[in-house]
Structure 1
Amino acid sequence: MAKDDYYVIVFRVLTYLYNCLKQDEVVDMQKLTPEYLGINQRYFGYIFDTLDDEGLILNKAYYEDMLGKHLESDIMVSPKGISFLHENSTIAKVKNSAKGILDIIGDIPGL
């Protein structure tokens, strides 16, 4: 799968949020930007709207002001999001692809 595939981005985001939760770390909002994820603003909004609508993240994903939508800093993975990481067959394919790449090139920050 391509690095900008929907499921690859969802895997990266949910895995990052889950790791922050498990390690009691504050979410680094710089890792949740279109630029960091390598996608455009519209696609970024679509992904986070979908994660929010499907209940895969907790807390309202965005606040909106005159400059547009901004992710909330208290964003967290939900129990449903954790289950999605463990049970979704497409996410399992992403994990297997990522594991093969990581075996060859080493750890990738934010993955």
Structure 2
Amino acid sequence: MAKDDFFVIVFMVLTKVYQANKQGQPVTQEDLDLWGTEYNEGYWNHIILDMLDQGWITGVISVNLLSGKKYKASEVYITPAGVEYLETNSMMHKAKEVLKSLPEWATLIKSLF
């Protein structure tokens, strides 16, 4: 599973939203846009809108434009269903393991060059 895999990205976003919310902070449009800069815009929009459709986040709406569907966000929060998905989904646990191993791979690659 790569770091740009759908489930890894969903895990990362839900975790960041959950952490911000636990600190009393909603996630903003700017936050989501910043987090999505390393991905293809269409793919990123699909991921955010899918999390909305699945009921894992609130504070996002789908906007139909000539160029396709995009999202608009204000005060994004994780839902109880989103927390449950993070805690119980086996793909989320695999994504968590991938993200944990990334620093180890970076160290290994640096040592090779």
TM-score category (smaller protein):
0.7 to 0.9
What is the rounded CA distance, in whole Å, between the counterparts of 1:12 and 1:91 in structure 2? 9
Q: Which has the higher strand share?
A: 2
Aligned positions, number: 105
Alignment match, 1:44: 44
1:36 Cα deviation (Å)? Answer: 3.9
Which ranges of structure 2 fall in alignment gaps of 5 or more residues?
108-113
Alignment match, 1:27: 27
**Contact residue 28 and residue 75 of structure 2 kept, 8 A:** no
1:99 Cα deviation (Å)? Answer: 1.8
Q: CA RMSD in A?
A: 2.7
Q: Which has the higher helix share?
A: 2
Rg larger for: 2
Which ranges of structure 1 fall in alignment gaps of 5 or more residues?
107-111
The one-character-per-residue Cα deviations of 1:7-40 (angstroms, maximum 9, x if unpaired) are 0110111000000111112425443127745111
| TM-score normalised by the chain length of structure 1 | 0.76
The alpha-carbon distance between structure 1 residues 29 and 102, as it changes in their structure 2 partners (threshold 3 A), is farther
Once the two structures are aligned, what percentage of the paired residues are identical? 32
What is the rounded CA distance, in whole Å, between the counterparts of 1:7 and 1:62 in structure 2? 21
